C-alpha cells in the first residue's frame, strides 16, 4: 500500500505496452484478408453477367455487361465529355455546398448558443425542413430562372438542413462539465467559444458537413434532371431519352466515384482537427 509498490503499478513501461497493444492489433486488423470478401459478390455477379451475355444466354441490351459499360466510360473519357460533365456537376455541388454549409454553420451556431435565437429561428426552420426540398424546384425556377442559380439554390437548401441541425445539436450537447472548467479559469465568452466550444463541436461538425455533402450530391441529380445541357445528371437523362443504358450506368459510376472522392477529401482536410478522437469514429 505504500509508495514504491504503487508507483510501480504506473510505470511507464506498462503504460507504453498498454498503448502499443491496441496499435498492433489495429495494424493486424488492417491486413485482415476478410476485408477482400466484400469484393467477392459484386465481382462474381459482374463476371456471371459478362459470361451470360457473351455466351448468348442474355441479350444485354437493357442491362449492358460490364465490359460495355467500361468501354462507354472510356469513350466518354477519351472525347473529354466525361470531364466536362463531371466538372460541371462538381462545380454545382461545390457552390451549393459552400453556400448551404456556410448558412447552416452560422445559423446552427447562433441557434445552438443562444436560447433567444433558438426560440426565434428553430420553429420556422423545422417547419421548412418538413417540406421535401424537391418541392421547391418550381418556385426556384420561377424566381431564379432555369439556369445555374436555381440549381445551386436547390443544392444549397439540401446541404443547409443537415449542417444546421448538426451544428446546433453539437453545441447544445457540449459537456457542461468541460464548460465549467473554462469558468474556473475565468475564460471570457470569446475564449470559452474558441478554447472549449469550438474544439468540442468539431467532430460532430465534420459529420454534419459530410452528410450535407452527401445530400448535395443527391440534389445535384435532381437539379440536373430539371433541364441541363451539361453535367452527369444530363448524361443520365440523355441516356434514358436515347435508350443508352450503358451511358446511364457509366454516369452512375462516375457519380459514385465523384461522391466518394469529395467525401474523402473532406475527411482528409478535417482529419488534423479531430485527431484526438477515439478511432472508432474514423470508420463511419
Partner 1 sequence: MLSLEHLSKTYADGTRALSDINLTVHEGEIVSLIGGSGCGKTTLLRLIAGLDRESAGQIRLDGERLSGPHPAVGIVFQEPRLLPWLSVFDNIAFGLAGVSAAEKKARVEHALEKIGLAEHARRWPRDLSGGQQQRVSIARAFVTNPKVLLLDEPFSALDAFTRASLHEHLLGLWEETRPTVVLVTHDVQEAVTLADRAVVMQPKPGRIFDELPLTLSRPRDRTGLPFETSVRRVLTALDHSLKAPQAQPQRERDRQAAALWW
Residues of this chain that bind partner 1 (CB under 8 A): 1-3, 5-7, 9-10, 12, 15, 19, 177-178, 180-181, 183-186, 195-196, 199-200, 202, 276-278
Measured from the CB atom, the residue of 3 and 38 that comes closer to partner 1 is 3
Residue closer to partner 1, measured from CB, 15 or 42: 15
Q: Measured at the alpha carbon of residue 167, what is the angle toward residues 161 and 170, in degrees to the nearest 5?
A: 135
CB of 153 to partner 1, least distance (A): 36
Angular region, 32: left φ>0, alpha ψ -120 to 50, beta rest: beta
Q: Cell 437523362, residue?
A: 237
Do 160 and 104 form a contact (C-beta atoms < 8 A)?
yes
Cβ 114 to partner 1 shortest distance, Å:
21
Residue 61 or 189: the one with the smaller Cβ distance to partner 1 is 189
Q: Measured from the CB atom, is 181 or 257 closer to partner 1?
A: 181
Q: How far is the CB of 178 from partner 1 (least distance, A)?
A: 6
Please identify, using beta-carbon distances, which residue of 23 and 51 lies nearer to partner 1. 23
Please work out, in degrees rounded to the nearest 5, the angle formed at the alpha carbon of residue 198 by the alpha carbons of 196 and 200.
Answer: 65
Q: Least CB distance from residue 112 to partner 1, whole Å?
A: 18
Give min distance, CB of 227 to partner 1, in A.
47
Alpha-carbon torsion 212, 216, 217, 218, what sign?
A: positive
User: Toward partner 1, which CB reaches closer, 66 or 199?
Assistant: 199
In the bound complex, what is the minimum distance in angstroms from residue 184's beta carbon to partner 1?
Answer: 5
C-alpha cell at 128: 421548412
Residues contacting residue 44 through CB under 8 Å, at least 6 positions apart? none
End-to-end, the C-alpha distance of the chain in Å comes to: 44
Amino acid at each position: 500500500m505504500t509508495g514504491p509498490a504503487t508507483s510501480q503499478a504506473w510505470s511507464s513501461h506498462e503504460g507504453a505496452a498498454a498503448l502499443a497493444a491496441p496499435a498492433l492489433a489495429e495494424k493486424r486488423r488492417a491486413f485482415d484478408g476478410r476485408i477482400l470478401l466484400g469484393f467477392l459478390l459484386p465481382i462474381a455477379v459482374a463476371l456471371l453477367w459478362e459470361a451470360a451475355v457473351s455466351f448468348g444466354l442474355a441479350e444485354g441490351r437493357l442491362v449492358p455487361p460490364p465490359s460495355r459499360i467500361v468501354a462507354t466510360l472510356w469513350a466518354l473519357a477519351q472525347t473529354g465529355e466525361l470531364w466536362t460533365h463531371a466538372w460541371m456537376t462538381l462545380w454545382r455541388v461545390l457552390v451549393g455546398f459552400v453556400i448551404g454549409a456556410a448558412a447552416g454553420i452560422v445559423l446552427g451556431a447562433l441557434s445552438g448558443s443562444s436560447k433567444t435565437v433558438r426560440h426565434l429561428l428553430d420553429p420556422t426552420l423545422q417547419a421548412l425542413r418538413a417540406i421535401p426540398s424537391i418541392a421547391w424546384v418550381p418556385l426556384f425556377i420561377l424566381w431564379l430562372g432555369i439556369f445555374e442559380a436555381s440549381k445551386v439554390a436547390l443544392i444549397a437548401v439540401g446541404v443547409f438542413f443537415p449542417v444546421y441541425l448538426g451544428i446546433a445539436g453539437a453545441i447544445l450537447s457540449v459537456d457542461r462539465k468541460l464548460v465549467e472548467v473554462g469558468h474556473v479559469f475565468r475564460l471570457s465568452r470569446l475564449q470559452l467559444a474558441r478554447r472549449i466550444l469550438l474544439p468540442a463541436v468539431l467532430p460532430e461538425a465534420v459529420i454534419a458537413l459530410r452528410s450535407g455533402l452527401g445530400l448535395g450530391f443527391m440534389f445535384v441529380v435532381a437539379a440536373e434532371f430539371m433541364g441541363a445541357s451539361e453535367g452527369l445528371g444530363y448524361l443520365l437523362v440523355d441516356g434514358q431519352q436515347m435508350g443508352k443504358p450503358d451511358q446511364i450506368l457509366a454516369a452512375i459510376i462516375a457519380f459514385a466515384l465523384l461522391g466518394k472522392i469529395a467525401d474523402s477529401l473532406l475527411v482528409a482536410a478535417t482529419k488534423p482537427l479531430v485527431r484526438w478522437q477515439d478511432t472508432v469514429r474514423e470508420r463511419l
